[in-house]
Amino acid sequence: MIERTARELIRSRYAVALTGAGFSTESGIPDFRGPSGIWSKNPEAERMAYISYEHFLENPKSWWEERLTGPSLLGDLERAMPNPGHYALADLEKIGILKSVITQNIDGLHEKGGTENIVEYHGSILKLRCAVCSARFHRDEFDLAKLMRDNLLPPHCPECGSIMKTDVVLFGEPIPSDVVRKSLEKVQKCDLMLICGTSAVVYPFANLPRMARQRKLESFAMPETGPYSGKGSPDVIIIEINADPTPLTKEGLSDYLIQGKTGEILPKILEEVKKLKK
Ligand code: OAD
Ligand code: ZN
C-alpha cells in the first residue's frame, strides 16, 4: 500500500494532505478522541469547551483571565517539536508532489517542520485574531501577562481597535471566511487527498473529503459541454493514514486506509516516492 500511495502521489497533479490531532501525538501532544485523548479522559473538559465561545462573547475580560491563569489542556505546545511525519510532508512539498496541507491542529508544528503552504482550519495557538476584522498577529506581539497585571484585558486589535481572541476556533465559532475560501479552493482542485491522523468527526472540516468525493459524482449529472460541463473535473483518490478506521473508512468514502502511525508511514512513503522518481 505504501508503494501504491507513492505511485499515486507521483501521478497526481494537485495532492493535498488533511491532518488532525493524531499527527501530533508522536510529538508528545495528546489527541482528543484516541485512548489517551483529552476528551476521552476528561469529558467535563469537552463540555466546558462547548461553552467557551459563549463565555468569550459575554465577558472577554474574564475569558482571557481564565486562559492566562488556567492549565493548558494541550500541555506545553511552544516546546513541542515536529516528528518524522511533519518532516515527510514538508519534503513531499519541497519535491513538488504535495501542494498544500489543511490542518485542524493548532500547534504550529507543520510550519515548524518546514511546510510552507498551510491552511490552519482551526487557527493557531501561536496567534491572536481580531474578532471583527480577522487581522492576525503573533502572540509575542502582545504582552498578555502585563495587560493582565495592568487590568487591561482583553487585548485590542492594532488595526481596528476591536477585541482580540486567540486565533484558535472555538466550538460554535464560525470558521474564518479566508480559511473557508482557501480550503474550498484546494478541495475543488485536488486529485489526491491524504487524510492523516484525524477521526474525521468534527464538522465542517469533515465535510472536505465528502465535498471532494461529491464533486466527481456531481460531474456525472452535468452536461458534456458548456459552462456547466462536468468534463475535466478530476477524479479524486482519497487515502487515509490513521491508527484506527474512521467514519470515512467505514462509509467507503476513502479508497483505502493505511493503518498505523503517521510518523512511521509517511517517511516510508517519501522514501518510496524518491526511489520511484529516480
Ligand atoms: P481526534 O482525537 O478526534 O482523532 C485523532 C485520530 O488520530 C484518532 O482516530 C486516532 O486513532 C488517530 N491517531 C492517534 N495517533 C496517531 C498516530 N500517531 N498516527 C496515526 N493516527 C493516529 O482528533 P481530530 O480529528 O484532529 O477541535 O479532532 C478534530 C477536532 O476535535 C480538533 O481540531 C479539536 C477537537 O475538538 C477544536 O479545537 C475546534
Ligand atoms: Zn481588527
Domain 1-28+79-122+175-278 belongs to what topology?
A: Rossmann fold (3.40.50)
Confirm or reject: Cβ of 198 under 6 Å from ligand 1.
yes
| Residue 231 confidence (pLDDT) | 56
Q: How far is the CA of 140 from the centre of ligand 1 (A)?
A: 27
Residue 122: CB within 6 Å of ligand 1? yes
Q: Whose CA is nearest to atom 25 of ligand 1?
A: 198
Q: Provide the residue type at 42 as one letter.
A: N
pLDDT in tens, 173-225: 999 999 999 999 999 999 999 999 999 999 999 999 999 998 766 665 666 66
Give the pLDDT confidence score for residue 215 in this predicted structure: 78
Q: Which of 31, 47, 259 to mutate to test the pocket of ligand 1 (most atoms within 8 A of CB)?
A: 31
Instruction: Find the range with the poorest average confidence among 1-15, 61-75, 137-151, 183-197.
Output: 61-75
- Give the C-alpha separation, 45 to 205, whole Å: 21
Q: Is the pLDDT of residue 64 over 80?
A: yes
Within 8 A by CB and 6+ apart from 197, the residues are: 19, 20, 21, 22, 23, 24, 25, 31, 85, 241, 242, 243, 262
Q: How far is the CA of 246 from the centre of ligand 2 (A)?
A: 38
What confidence tens digit (pLDDT) does each residue in 237-274 have?
999 999 999 999 999 999 999 999 999 999 999 999 99
Confidence of residue 79 (pLDDT cuts 50, 70, 90): confident
Residue 153's pLDDT band (boundaries 50, 70, 90)?
very high
pLDDT at 77: 81
What's the average model confidence in pLDDT over 109-135? 96
Q: Give, using CA atoms, the residue closest to atom 8 of ligand 1.
A: 199
CA distance 153 to 133: 19
Q: Quick one: DSSP state of residue 152?
A: -
C-beta of residue 209 within 8 angstroms of C-beta of residue 216: no
- Model pLDDT, residue 240: 98
46 in contact with ligand 1, CB cutoff 6 A? no
25 Cβ inside 6 Å of ligand 1: yes
Please tell me the predicted confidence (pLDDT) of residue 94. 98
Taking CA atoms only, the protein residue closest to ligand 1 atom 35 is 32
Q: 24 CB less than 6 Å from ligand 1?
A: no
